[in-house]
Amino acid sequence: MKKQVTLIWALLCLLLLAACEKPVLEDADGVKPIGKSKSKLTRVVRIHPAEELAVETMETPMNAKGQPLSRAGDKNLKKIYAVNVYEKKPGEEKYQMYAYGLFTLQSKISIKMNEKNLYKVECLKIEEGPGRLFAVKDSFDLPLVHGKKELTKVSNSFVYSKEANLNEIKKGETKIEGGRIVHYPRLVKLYGSLADFSPKGKTELTVDLKRTVFGLHFKVSPPEEGTLVVDYPFWRISLKKGDAAYDDASPYSFYDIERACQSDYHTELDMKITWTKADGSVEEATKTLTVKRNVMTVVNIKVEGSKGRGISFKEESGEMKTENVDWHIAM
């Protein structure tokens, strides 16, 4: 009996030694445990939105001397980056939502990516001036809403989500200071996207941003009598007899952000002038104005009773030939 007990204890000791010996032998042979054998699959990639530097049109660019893109002197004006990131896993045909975020610090735009997957990044940059965005503290409305048009806070970090992102950034509707929604805000918007980016072996990503703006420079003389009103989409200029002449240049963002990235993009705006004279009579006239990407169009307006009557359009074009459109109206 004693010999049987001794034999059983000996067998148990041998089994314990064998169990302990295996990992010791594996470490001695240089084989790493399974949990550490996987290569690193995720890496942090920094996103660099690169603004358009060269002018793609033949006409004078809006950022030429005397044609400011924004009122850069006001330190309270914001520059906001709205970024959406999409992910496509191996075997998938379509990209899925991955992350979104609002940033005021470009250096903070970095995100974790899986080396096995492909990514698509889109970015909208908004520069305030002369107009401002509607905001509640640090949360912004259109076009910077997320999900079901919920205000988005500037956090300078990404929110990882497969159900929501900044899904309005390619649309023109913009809620400006005061709560009004306009299609052509007096702001500078830049947009760009990059698809099929693989983070494998890369820690930097550059997205080229294109300006999606046109410019209007109104020079309006006050009427000899009564009130003169100039209406164009979502904006109005009103002058009465004795007022100083109106002279103001401003950038405006196009409504169709994605198409407005094209170098030759242009669209038409309907403009109307209404002259209410001292005797109460009203004279009206309309005009369709063509506005072009990256071009400041100068609009001169003057009404003079029964004598010279007209509205002229002069498109600044640098050394290129000047394009003039004269609008003569009978009032």
| pLDDT tens profile 92-118 | 999 999 999 999 999 999 999 999 999
**More confident site: 249 or 201:** 249
Residue 310 has pLDDT above 60, yes or no: no
pLDDT for the residue numbered 24: 33
Say if residue 326's pLDDT is above 50: no
- Give the per-residue pLDDT at 308: 39
State the distance between the two ends of the chain, measured CA to CA, in whole angstroms: 128
Q: How far apart are CA 293 and CA 198, in angstroms?
A: 32
Mention every residue, 6+ apart, whose C-beta is less than 8 A from residue 182.
Answer: 173, 174, 176, 233, 234, 235
Decide which of 312 and 66 is more confident: 312
Which of 19-28, 39-48, 124-133 ranks highest by mean pLDDT?
A: 124-133
pLDDT at 296 over 80: yes
Share of the chain above pLDDT 70, in %: 73
- Is the predicted pLDDT of residue 61 greater than 50, yes or no? no
Give the ranges where 175-268 is alpha helix by DSSP (H): none
Q: State residue 244's pLDDT score.
A: 97
Q: In the block, which residue shows the tokens 């975020």?
A: 101
Total length of the chain? 331
More confident call, 178 vs 5: 178
Nearest to 300 by CA among 328, 270, 278, 276: 328
What does the pLDDT average to over 208-214? 96
pLDDT at 312: 52
Rg (CA), the chain: 31
Candidate from 18-27, 70-79, 229-238, 248-257 with smallest mean pLDDT? 18-27
Answer whether residue 124 shows pLDDT above 70: yes
Q: Give the pLDDT mean for 226-252.
A: 96
High-pLDDT (> 90) share of the chain, %:
64
Amino acid 128: pLDDT: 97
Least confident interval from 37-41, 133-137, 159-163:
37-41
Q: How far is CA 115 from the centre of its chain?
A: 27
Whole-prediction pTM: 0.78
Q: What is the pLDDT of residues 175-187, one digit of tens each?
A: 999 999 999 999 9
Confidence of residue 51 (pLDDT cuts 50, 70, 90): confident
Domain extent listing, the chain:
42-212, 214-327
